[in-house]
A and B are shown apart, each in its own frame.
Chain A
């Protein structure tokens, strides 16, 4: 099959009801004059959510439409969801088109975050395809008046075994539409050995459009009569305009309206920040108009936020005993009697998700109704928040999802879509609200800044026998409830309480920290700083014990076993999935370390100035180990000639896309070691990519080797797990090359000291 030629057949369905209409047209239940009733399946519940018609449509011409209910932001979910459904349906891939779902509860959760799209949908997508296949087989059996057991769907047609007769899917669509879907328990799923598409490196369905500039991202939406708005938002959280002069902005040709948006009241939540909207006939006029605005801000109570002073306060907290969240043995006693102790403190600054496409949404609000086209990771949350902000019923709000020019958690927040709805209502026309890069960096939902304090005891044989770890960071919950100053169960379940080390005396603590900016999710979230501290400190202990870092890491992890956190009274979230199905399995963690070490030829001699570093981390139920090779110049500049990644994400749908996520997730981890957002007088100091550094071509790894562990375990997350091990593996490599230890990010000029 030539995926390259075939992809041109698959169009991205989007627009003013085009997607919905087309899908309705091919819906085979549609021939009864109604769509199947919506099933409301809240995320994370075990309630059966199966409705094959939600995902599959077959037209009389044989075109199979597979509905992707998750947002495409580079993980190729539109392709992988279609692969799963098409496989169980036994469709011909060249006759499959992918439709993008609007916000609708009938799909269950559409929140595209937490590396959940495949792991939470794999079974139901398979069942959706298998159900449709069974109905087509039944329709064929009825037509031929033969037992259904003699009929089998194969590559877009049903074959009658004994006679060899065939009927195409399209020919059967109408007859199948009159049948009841079989009960879930009667469905026969394929054996993995029979999979056609699952587990195969299938090219992205959107590839051709992307490389020819035809893909429709949120920024690219155009509606008749559409205006463009940019918003001057308060530089300080909960600030508001004290006074502003709209006249200079209105004097810019093309600027039509300038008005104030509602002031944001705590908590920030998902609500817009307020400020002054400038609405114009075109983008450049809107940007020029905002530039001309003269606003005096009333900055409010966060105006004293200073990231330098805040860092000092976090560190002070991290040096004191905090709330204990996991304890075994007697750490204090073990530290007091230790042969040798080691203490280290790690700092990771505020970071920005900074997707290449800044937040953007287009809204058309009419009396009691709204339609949006949004670059959103959370269409249903968007619909809810827009309905609330407009004071209309959710049923009157339609949310269309465009391609996302990156998301990384920023586009999980619907604030920008709500802005578009509010501005459209005010001006009585369709409006696109676009964020500039300055807006994105200065008014975002920041990755939490963190300080961590670690102490360990090493015995006479060089073994670590005590581990004290305190983590302090403003929790994401502070964005939604200002009184939340301790980390949540979810925050601490991201690579902190699930520490995989086999150490007799261990105590894990969390200290309090207040939020002064909006704190939000960023790809792999709290795992970033937890993996950085734990995997860096493990390396420091190896050095202190004069041991090979990889061998020492394996010793710290100890023998293959599952860690019973419940038995330790640890409140562990396990990414919302059952621990029995997805245990914390040190055997799998060890395996990715062994695999990556072998690939990287760990232990080989390196030329002067080169170093190797390793780190491993379980997150989103997947296990990833990374080896980074660095080359450091005498001036303290470094490059990354090569990176090796091993991932065990259980069953994978598309190994090439998993590799791509491992490469990209590593670069994202590199950027986390290069950039920082700082605040002064409550406002973010960085404005654009000149001051907010992210990895560029010359800094990025020149080559990658990714090993995807063959596994029949249930699917785990893929989009986020490659990020956490990267920064510690990099800094461990830098130590190996230079003897200089990076404990505070960004790396900046620390190697030039």
Chain B
């Protein structure tokens, strides 16, 4: 089967039930998308399918179909996404492992267009765990990016 990732087409001939996460990481060597739980409970594996945030650890690659997959590597050219810039400016990451998933989730939230409220941020971001506890800075960075957008 063919899948499109970050604007490029790739052939995959393995088990069609393989979660997209492992196709990205093991086959395409796009390791920015992380494994954290394997059960859609932590959000570290979040990618976009046609702009919508999904958990790639529970998304079989065959379910991707013709949708465009975007990973952290393809979110923007050279880290120029307003969220990425806000993340850098506010020094959000600690260990950084969950941050690609946080950024992809936040990017899907911001794509709605209107700046999100705190409650909307809670709603959108509560599926993304961060054990380093960077939540307050993530919140601040989302607010910042949504205002500069």
Contact = CB atoms under 8 A, between A and B. Distances in A.
Do A and B come together as binding partners? yes
B34 A357 contact: yes
B139 A697 contact: yes
B33 interface: yes
Given A284-B22, A698-B122, A664 B132 contact: yes
B134 A357 contact: no
A502 to B, nearest CB: 33
Contacts of B134: 660, 663-664
B84 A212 contact: yes
A565 interface: no
Interface string B94-106: 1111111001000
Nearest to A722: B133
Interface stretch (A81-89, A214-222, A412-420): A214-222
Given A215-B96, A406-B97, A695 B133 contact: yes
A324 B83 CA distance: 56
Interface in A369-410: 403-408
Contacts of B91: 201, 203-204, 207, 656-657, 660
Contacts of B135: 667, 695-697, 700-701
Contacts of B96: 74, 206, 210-211, 215, 403, 405
A282 interface: yes
29 contacts: A74-B93, A74-B95, A74-B96, A207-B91, A207-B93, A210-B99, A211-B84, A213-B33, A213-B72, A214-B32, A215-B96, A217-B97, A220-B31, A254-B14, A283-B26, A284-B22, A287-B38, A357-B35, A358-B36, A403-B96, A403-B97, A660-B137, A665-B133, A668-B133, A689-B39, A696-B126, A697-B122, A697-B125, A700-B136
A104 B97 CA distance: 26
Contacts of B49: none
A704 interface: yes
Interface in B65-79: 71-73, 75, 78-79
B94 A690 contact: no
Contacts of B103: 211
A668 B18 CA distance: 33
B42 interface: yes
A73 interface: yes
B1 to A, nearest CB: 15
Contacts of A215: 96
A355 interface: yes
User: Of residues A206, A207, A403, A694, which shows the largest number of chain B Cβ atoms within 10 Å of its Cβ?
Assistant: A207
Interface of A: 4, 72-76, 201, 203-204, 206-208, 210-217, 219-220, 222, 228, 253-254, 282-285, 287-288, 354-358, 403-408, 434, 436-437, 656-657, 660-661, 663-668, 670-671, 688-690, 694-698, 700-704
A663 B29 CA distance: 33
Contacts of A405: 34, 95-98
A437 B39 contact: yes
Contact of B118 (A204, A219, A688, A702): A702
B5 interface: no
A228 B18 CA distance: 15
Given A664-B132, A665-B133, A212 B138 contact: no
B94 A689 contact: no
Interface string B1-35: 00000000000001100110010011101111111
Contacts of B129: 356, 689, 694, 696
A118 B134 CA distance: 22
A288 B121 CA distance: 35
Contacts of A74: 93-96, 132
Q: Which 10 A-B pairs have the closest CB atoms?
A: A213-B32, A667-B133, A405-B97, A74-B95, A74-B94, A210-B96, A213-B72, A664-B133, A700-B135, A220-B31
A309 B101 CA distance: 40
Contacts of A697: 121-122, 125-126, 128, 135, 138-139
A222 B26 CA distance: 9
Contacts of B37: 437, 688-689
Nearest to A523: B131
Contact of A356 (B14, B15, B27, B36): B36
Contacts of B138: 697
B136 to A, nearest CB: 5
Nearest to A639: B122
Interface in B107-149: 118, 121-123, 125-139
Contacts of B32: 212-214
A222 B134 CA distance: 28
A283 B131 CA distance: 24
Contact of B34 (A207, A356, A404): A356
Interface of B: 14-15, 18-19, 22, 25-27, 29-39, 41-42, 44, 71-73, 75, 78-79, 84, 87-89, 91-100, 103, 118, 121-123, 125-139
Contacts of A228: 26
Contact of B88 (A211, A217, A358): A211
Given A210-B93, A253-B14, 10 more contacts: A208-B88, A214-B73, A217-B34, A354-B131, A406-B131, A437-B37, A660-B137, A689-B39, A690-B39, A696-B126
Nearest to A434: B35
A704 B18 contact: no
User: Of residues A405, A656, A704, which shows the largest number of chain B Cβ atoms within 10 Å of its Cβ?
Assistant: A405
Nearest to A210: B96
Contacts of A75: 94
User: Of residues B87, B121, B133, which shows the largest number of chain A Cβ atoms within 10 Å of its Cβ?
Assistant: B133
Nearest to A692: B41
Contacts of A211: 79, 84, 87-88, 92-93, 96, 99-100, 103
A129 to B, nearest CB: 24
A606 to B, nearest CB: 20
Given A403-B95, A408-B131, A212 B121 contact: no
Contacts of A664: 94, 132-134
Contacts of A216: 31
A656 B89 CA distance: 12
A403 B31 CA distance: 13
B26 A282 contact: yes
B139 A222 contact: no
Contacts of B73: 212-214
User: Of residues A403, A437, A660, which shows the largest number of chain B Cβ atoms within 10 Å of its Cβ?
Assistant: A660
A403 B32 CA distance: 13
Nearest to B44: A356
B93 A204 contact: yes
User: Of residues A212, A283, A406, which shows the largest number of chain B Cβ atoms within 10 Å of its Cβ?
Assistant: A212
B118 A212 contact: no
A668 B131 contact: yes
Contacts of A689: 37, 39, 41-42, 129
A358 B131 CA distance: 12
B94 A698 contact: no
Contacts of B84: 211-212
Contact of A207 (B38, B88, B121): B88
A203 B138 CA distance: 16
A434 B38 CA distance: 12
A381 B136 CA distance: 35
Contacts of B94: 74-76, 660-661, 664
Contacts of B132: 74, 356, 406, 664, 667
Contacts of B26: 228, 282-284
